[in-house]
Amino acid sequence: MKIVKTVCHRDCPDTCFMDVTVDRGKIVAARGSTLNPVTRGFLCPRGNGDPQRVYSDKRVLYPHVQLEAGGSESFARVSWDVALSRVADRIQAITGTHGRESLLLYDYPGNTGFLAWHFAKRLWSALGATTTDYALCSSSGHTGIGLHYGLSYGLQSTDMAASNVILFWGNNAKVSASHIWAMARQARKDRGAILVSVDPRQSPTAEAADIWIQPRPGSDVALCYGIARYLIEKGGVDRVFVDKWTTGFPAYAETAMGWTPERVEQVCGVLGHVVVQIGEVLMAHRPAAFMIGLGLQKSMQGAEAARAVALLPALLGLHRGFQYSNSKGHEIDWLTLNGRRFSRHRGKVVSQVGIGKRLAAGEFKFVYVFGSNPAMTLPEQSAVRRGLDREDVFVAVHDSHWSETAARADVVLPAPTFLEKRDVAISDHHPYSRLSEKAIAPLGDSWHEIQVMQHLAKRLGLTADWLYEDPWAALEKTLEHTYRDGGVKQILAGEVLEVRQRPNDAYQTPSGKIELAATVSHGGSTPLPIQHPLQRKESWLVLLNSSVANYTHSQFTDVFGPIPQVVWVHPEDAAHRYIEENDVVAVFNELATVTLRAKVTDRVLPGTLWAPRPLTDLNGVPLNALVPGISQGIGGGPIFNSVKVKIKPSTSEFPSRRC
């Protein structure tokens, strides 16, 4: 029996150090490592469930080809030679007939390892394939905050220990970042830190916070201006800091002063005394840490909300007193790692959010998917699935598990899980990094992403040296300036290193300061955050969705069962529609109908629904079938939390309308 020191590679802010127990070549347990000061010795349910997921009966262990076109889900096992020949032949034929732009690489951080994800993209850089803008997760928040700060990095999780107020704004950290939540609780225990949750839903974080503020969905900019107005009126603004480190305060202050308590209450539904309370807390208990959730910016007003929240710490005299995602603060040579620096071809980039319509129209004749499950996670699922199911579109999927996307593929290739390969990953929320060591040999006939990439490159007759470079040598160059006191050699030796972050008092704006009124624009943005009117339609409701414990996106249903097929409905909305607890209800709009069980609760506001993300309903329809493929103007992000729907009792136990 041995202990293997590794790191979780899930798309999660915590990036936990894990100690995996292996007995006679089999994983028998996983526990948190005490060597990471942030993730310090405990794992979330997914980490604890990883051994079970490795040996799941949903594993893809051998190459398969689909026997019939159009998503028949009838597969035959084949050799790697047959599978790769089929993929390579199709790439050559389609490129020759339709051009490079008809090849689509669809990838995302199902595995955040630098080698498994980024180095493995070198083939597609060489081919000049079309890629997405990767805007689905966090792009609008990065862009919105960047208008005022240059780059969107901010506090490290470890900085919370010195904070007297910790605000989780649109951030259900108790579920989605459990170690960050644990650190906040420790700050409350050790120094009396006040924990505040700003969330339209009474999430587990809101329930456990000292103060819960419940604004209407999409009204965050108004709430921010209301708080700013109070700070300005009561002398809570650090004018020395503002004069030295910011520009645009007069314009910002003029706008904020227009947000009277009455106006804020009218837009947000937040009473004036609540705004006073939070203003008093921020003034009396400095410093504060504003923990901005990614879910905040996944709405029609998302980028505006993220930038508005990020400006509040500047009024309090704090350099980047927020945490959103610190990926922009790292010095990593991505263009070298993914090969784009070396390729003669510059592939087209398309909107990830809006790709469903392109797929449905047959714009791409070849789609290669890895690290993602687009047939669950993308908006406008009806279009996405129609596109993947087209007979004139060849779909190849490289995945460790049979997913909804793999079921629609022409060729399915088996990938090892992160516990079956060696790699490095870096957190966007804490500075600690170590080697992710391979715990066991790959199961079945699974091939590493790099192995597949290089074999395909040879079959396609590609001879560029950089396609066959030793991946660890490439990683050493990529991370040359990433760590404070070491590099890849020290990582390979088992050392724990700290990731270097750009200085918090450096601002990459034209003025070199925090620009409270931005001097650059993106997607038609204005200098100041705008509270756009909330569009209310009679009988229509806003559907919110967010992650729940036990699941990372669409992963872990094989371990914990289906994501709960429920929708929260406020008692007023339920009564008006004759809906009772546990009724089967239809949630619908012009795109689709989703059938769920109703939970009648006042933990959501009237006019608001909430459902777990990304569930599949009682009929097998994905929740994201309700989401339009509309991008935000700022950053191109999605509008998952601005979806307008209606709800009614189901006319039959399980309506037949499918995606």
Mean pLDDT of 479-498: 96
pLDDT over 50 at 360, yes or no: yes
Length reported for the chain: 659
Q: What's the pLDDT score for residue 69?
A: 60
Spatial separation of the C-alpha atoms in residues 213 and 523, rounded to whole Å = 30
SS3 66: strand
Find the mean pLDDT for residues 518-525. Answer: 96
Summarised one tens digit per residue, pLDDT across range 310-338 is 999 999 999 999 999 999 999 999 999 99
CA–CA separation, 517 and 319 (whole Å): 16
Mean per-residue pLDDT for 2-19? Answer: 95
Is the preceding omega at residue 109 within 30 degrees of 0, hence cis? no
What percent of the chain has pLDDT above 90? 95
C-alpha to C-alpha distance for 559 and 573, rounded to whole angstroms: 34
For 567-581, write each residue's pLDDT tens digit.
999 999 999 999 999
pLDDT classification of 537: cutoffs 50, 70, 90: confident
Q: Which of 152-161, 569-578, 611-620 has the lowest mean pLDDT?
A: 152-161
Domain at 541-649: CATH code = 2.40.40.20
What are the two backbone dihedrals, phi and then psi, of residue 382, each rounded to the nearest 5 degrees? -55, -45
Contact between 304 and 221 under an 8 Å Cβ cutoff? The reply is: yes
Domain with CATH 3.40.50.740 in the chain: 64-136+334-424+439-498
CA atoms within 13 A on the CB side of 532: 16
Residue 656 pLDDT greater than 70, yes or no: no
**pLDDT greater than 50 at residue 654:** no
- Position 538 scores a pLDDT of 82
- Kindly state the average pLDDT of the residues 65-70: 78
For residue 589, count CB atoms less than 10 angstroms from its CB and return exposed for 0-12, middle for 13-18, buried for 19 or more.
middle
CB 624 within 8 A of CB 585: no
**Spatial contact of 556 and 618, defined as CB atoms under 8 Å apart:** no
- CATH 3.40.228.10 residue spans of the chain: 139-324
Residues 224 and 311: beta-carbon distance below 8 Å = yes
**Average pLDDT score over residue span 288-306:** 97
Q: What is the pLDDT of residues 435-486, one digit of tens each?
A: 999 999 999 999 999 999 999 999 999 999 999 999 999 999 999 999 999 9
CB contact at 8 A, 198 and 503 = no
Mean pLDDT of 285-299: 97
Rg of the chain over all Cα atoms, to the nearest angstrom: 25
Residue 457 half-sphere exposure toward CB, CA atoms < 13 A: 23
pLDDT (tens digit, 9 = 90+) per residue, 380-411? 999 999 999 999 999 999 999 999 999 999 99
Question: Quick one: which of 426, 11, 417 has its CA closest to 177?
Answer: 11
Element (H, E) at 376: helix 374-377
**Which CATH architecture does the domain made up of 2-54 adopt?**
Single Sheet (2.20)
Report, as an integer, the average pLDDT of 182-191.
95
Query: What does the pLDDT read at residue 652?
Result: 58
- Beta carbons of 547 and 342 less than 8 angstroms apart: no
Question: CATH number of the domain at 64-136+334-424+439-498, please?
Answer: 3.40.50.740
pLDDT of 199-250, one tens digit each?
999 999 999 999 999 999 999 999 999 999 999 999 999 999 999 999 999 9
Strand stretches in 70-137, DSSP E: 75-77, 103-107, 131-132
Residues of the chain with CATH 2.40.40.20: 541-649
Superfamily of segment(s) 139-324:
Dimethylsulfoxide Reductase, domain 2 (3.40.228.10)
Beta carbons of 180 and 153 less than 8 angstroms apart = no
Q: Where in the chain is the domain with CATH 2.20.25.90?
A: 2-54
